Chains A and B, each alone.
Chain A
Amino acid sequence: MMLNNQEKTAAFFWRTPAKKRILVLALFAVLAMAGCLISLMKGSVPVSVSEILQSMLPGSGATNEQIIYNIRLPRTIVAALTGMNLALSGAILQAVMKNPLADPHIIGISSGAGLAGISIMILYPAMEYLITPAAFIGAMGAAVCIYLLAWKGGIRPVRIILAGVAVSSFLGAGISALLIFYSDRVHGALMWMVGGLSARSWPHVEIILPYAVAGFLFAMLGSRQLNLLQLGDEIAKGLGLRVEAARLLMTAVAALLAASAVSVVGLLGFVGLIVPHAARLLIGSDYRFLLPATALLGIAVVTVSDTFARVVFAPTELPVGIIMAAVGAPFFLFLLRRQL
């Protein structure tokens, strides 16, 4: 009888939320697919769904095959992977830093990647292939710097944000200095500062794809560790987690994800903040579900925003970063007022 009761409580409480979570995940998957589809269809030349499907078959000779295959598809993939990487990076940082406002952009990790990337772009334009590794080192350096600056017998959320702001403006000054000293080479860098997806094509897909796959896998492998980190160091240690090691490893994963996105599209902000929070509201803080939900929603948000950026002032194209900032800054304020 006793055991029967236990089994019943177990059955009730394990299966019901799982169902809801799978439903939410399915919803996000549909959103992500819809986002990608819209991104493929909309533009100066509208394309129909059947044309997209046809052009997926090689040598079908569909009317707009060139446009779809050479322009739309790679850009959509880059947008999707960027969205996924930045969103995952934000979600991971929120657990690692134990701070709901953590985001690679706000916290200064992106500026680290940005300074390193722009340095290569401006000073050694011939060595473009170094942008991703350099951006990674920059991102990791900034993350470690912020962590050390904020560590004073423990980690406090407010200190992380303040240290992030300080590091971010310090690195921002470096970026500005570069832009002023080399004002003749600024144009590409300026677009990169805001974060934009125009003219992104297959080479960019090749850069970001391996990092996206590896980053997602490592993040999922660390999801239980991330769950424990949310409970604070003392509890996590007591439950058997090697807190420092887990935190360092997951920070590296977050930095890698952010750096790969930044090196391809530039300093795209707020994705890492808005997306994990929106996902969290619907699916909860269990990272085993939150991470895939965040990845899917990240894909949806950036593909839709980029389509919007392309279409709304056509033929002029806005950098997607401007759209993200316009939506993201108010959302950031909303979170600040609600939570702190």
Chain B
Amino acid sequence: MSSLRVENLSICIGGKKILSDISYEFPAGKRTAIIGPNGSGKSTLLQSLAGNGYPASGRVMLDEHDVQGFGKKALARHLAILPQGAQVPPDITVAELVDYGRFAHRRWFGNDARADREAVARALEQTKTADLSSRLVATLSGGERQRAWLAMALAQQPQILLLDEPTTYLDIAHQLEVMQIVTQLNHESALTVVMVLHDINHARQYADEVVVIKDQHIVAAGDPNCVLDPLLLERVFGVTADVFVNAAGQTILSPLALVK
């Protein structure tokens, strides 16, 4: 299992400090949610985990090596990232898109085409997109498209999967579908998942750990059921919230109003 941690990481973009002296170890084989207000640096943290952008200070360590020292392809074999709002050319099929996930595994000579085919078929199956594989990505619904992107990332056969708001723009059914696939992947293959989430209740329900970011710093981290309470919501988002237990026995946080 791959270990992933940030050590005293600071990141500046365009002269503005986005993250300041952050240290955290993302638990291997677990699902970690990153939450925080808009503009708090969640996506920046995720990008820096993938080795994109240079830290102002500190470093990101993957398996005890600085990610900046990895070759692009070697990194892509360890770690897959799915950014937000990706676009595809109009005439690419799901199968082709997923096959692009094999780029980092291909070699000029002695390439294992069978391994490529199997990885693609497995990724399609894991994301329940095998039936869609000859469809054009551009013609899929939002939920189907997100699963196709997920399949592409899985074809990389990563040990770590980074997701930037994987449920944005999806209806509630597709949100749950995506979160359940992620959970299943995590359970079946001990995939380490780090995901930026907006929905507090998703974080409670689908994450083993949560990292809360505000004003360049980690303000809280740990078990989401302990960390995410009305007090934290008030402190971080400036909203009051109600707590109740639903029929399934899950604790739900329901935002009530902005703090005056």
Contact A10–B117 (Cβ < 8 Å)? yes
Contact B120–A230 (Cβ < 8 Å)? no
Contact A238–B130 (Cβ < 8 Å)? no
Selected interface stretch from A25-33, A202-210, A280-288, A318-326: A280-288
A297 contacts across to B, CB distance below 8 A: none
Contact A235–B86 (Cβ < 8 Å)? yes
Contact A238–B83 (Cβ < 8 Å)? yes
Q: A6-B121, A9-B130, A228-B103 are in contact. Are A239 and B156 (CB under 8 A)?
A: yes
Contact A240–B100 (Cβ < 8 Å)? no
Q: A232-B87, A237-B72 are in contact. Are A6 and B122 (CB under 8 A)?
A: yes
Kindly state the separation between the CA atoms of A14 and B130 in the bound complex, as whole angstroms: 12
Give a binary string over B115-142; 1 marks a CB under 8 Å from any A CB, 0 the rest: 0011011101100001001100000000
Contact B86–A224 (Cβ < 8 Å)? no
Contact B83–A239 (Cβ < 8 Å)? no
Give a binary string over A224-247; 1 marks a CB under 8 Å from any B CB, 0 the rest: 100110111011011111100000
Contact A284–B83 (Cβ < 8 Å)? no
Q: A6-B125, A231-B88 are in contact. Are A237 and B52 (CB under 8 A)?
A: yes
Contact B91–A285 (Cβ < 8 Å)? yes
Kindly state the separation between the CA atoms of A241 and B121 in the bound complex, as whole angstroms: 23
Q: Is B81 among interface residues, defined by CB-CB distance under 8 A?
A: yes
Contact B92–A285 (Cβ < 8 Å)? yes
Q: A235-B83, A240-B75, A280-B91 are in contact. Are A286 and B96 (CB under 8 A)?
A: yes
Contact A7–B103 (Cβ < 8 Å)? no
Q: Which residue of B lies closest to A221 (CB)?
A: B108
Q: A7-B121, A13-B134, A280-B91 are in contact. Are A240 and B104 (CB under 8 A)?
A: yes
Majority SS of interface residues in chain B? Answer: helix
A286 contacts across to B, CB distance below 8 A: 92, 96
Q: In which size bucket is the chain A interface?
A: 20 to 34
Contact B104–A9 (Cβ < 8 Å)? no
Q: Which residue of B lies closest to A227 (CB)?
A: B100
Kindly state the separation between the CA atoms of A169 and B73 in the bound complex, as whole angstroms: 41
Q: Is B95 among interface residues, defined by CB-CB distance under 8 A?
A: yes
B121 contacts across to A, CB distance below 8 A: 6-7, 9-10
**8 Å CB contact of A242 from B72, B80, B82, B96:** B72
Kindly state the separation between the CA atoms of A14 and B93 in the bound complex, as whole angstroms: 11
Most buried by B among A5, A7, A239, A284: A239
Give a binary string over A8-19; 1 marks a CB under 8 Å from any B CB, 0 the rest: 011011101100
Minimum C-beta distance from A121 to chain B (A): 39
Kindly state the separation between the CA atoms of A6 and B95 in the bound complex, as whole angstroms: 13
Contact B72–A9 (Cβ < 8 Å)? no
Kindly state the separation between the CA atoms of A117 and B40 in the bound complex, as whole angstroms: 53
Most buried by A among B72, B96, B97, B124: B72
Minimum C-beta distance from A227 to chain B (A): 6
**8 Å CB contact of A13 from B73, B80, B92, B133:** B133
A5 contacts across to B, CB distance below 8 A: 125, 130
Minimum C-beta distance from B109 to chain A (A): 13
Q: Which residue of A lies closest to B136 (CB)?
A: A284
Kindly state the separation between the CA atoms of A238 and B156 in the bound complex, as whole angstroms: 10
A-B contact pairs, 22 of them (CB 8 A): A6-B121, A6-B125, A7-B121, A9-B125, A10-B120, A13-B133, A228-B103, A230-B88, A230-B92, A235-B83, A237-B52, A237-B72, A238-B80, A238-B81, A238-B82, A239-B100, A239-B104, A240-B72, A240-B77, A241-B72, A242-B72, A284-B91
Q: Which 9 residue pairs are nearest across A and B when measured between Cβ atoms?
A: A240-B76, A240-B104, A240-B73, A6-B121, A238-B81, A234-B83, A10-B121, A13-B95, A285-B89
Give B residues with C-beta under 8 Å from A. 50, 52, 72-77, 80-83, 86-89, 91-93, 95-97, 100-101, 103-104, 106, 117-118, 120-122, 124-125, 130, 133-134, 152-153, 156
